Structure 1
């Protein structure tokens, strides 16, 4: 499976390892993804999402339904 957050759309970024001698070697920066189950109260079902830890904090703050609606509007929601 790809390393993409289903809520925020965060994905793997590329960059460089830079040594003390300023040598540059390509590397990847991976998002901090967790697979987590959330309870969707309106439907009465558990939903399993692959989300970044920052998205978990957003869900805790705004609520699951509001976060899902904003992700659907942004186009990052991939169920």
Structure 2
């Protein structure tokens, strides 16, 4: 399983662990990934995603999963989230 947020694309970063004597050794900065179940009001069902804690705050700030996916760019979404975005857009188009 990739260590990448499905909604924001936030992934593992690398850097240095710097000691008191200023020696630098490689280290990894891992994203704070959480497995969550979010509700889609348009689809009327719940969706399981593995997202970063910061993305969860962004979803709540934008007003839910549907609003977040409507504003999100396709390049940063995972394939599963992109399919979900298309499904929501198709359902909204059919409703109008």
Given the two structures, how large is their TM-score scaled by the length of structure 1?
A: 0.91
Bigger share in helix = 2
1:48 and 2:48 matched = yes
CA apart distance, 1:69: 2.1
**Structure ranking higher on relative contact order (CA contacts 8 Å, 6+ apart):** 1
Size of the aligned set, in residue pairs, is 78
Gaps of 5+ in 2: 81-96
Bigger share in strand = 1
Q: Which residue of 1 aligns with 2:86?
A: none
CA apart distance, 1:74: 4.0
Gaps of 5+ in 1: none
Larger CA Rg, structure 1 vs 2: 2
Aligned-residue Cα RMSD (Å) equals 1.0
Q: Which residue of 1 aligns with 2:68?
A: 67
CA apart distance, 1:44: 1.0
